[in-house]
Amino acid sequence: MLTPAGLPERTGALVRYTRNGVLKMLERNRTVKRAPERFRDAKDKFDVIICCEERCFDQVLEGTAP
């Protein structure tokens, strides 16, 4: 039987993402948001912004500069 290249890796990733809860989190997010959001387009004011990556932190600082 022929299988597409990379299928075993994708199957392994699917199992891994199911076990660690990523797929469940993504499914929940699909029901919460209509589409991805861009922070700089938000009209709301935020008291706290949590960034998990330095690159994102730098972008937040650029977007909040007076």
pLDDT tens digits for 21-46?
Answer: 888 888 887 888 777 777 777 788 88
Does the pTM of the predicted model rise above 0.75? no
Structure tokens at 23: 């797929």
In a domain, 21, yes or no: yes
- Domain count for the chain, please give it: 1
In a domain, 31, yes or no: yes
Distances (CA, A) of 65 to 12, 39, 48, 50, 59: 43, 13, 15, 17, 10
In a domain, 2, yes or no: no
In a domain, 20, yes or no: yes
Which residue range is the domain that position 26 belongs to? 7-64
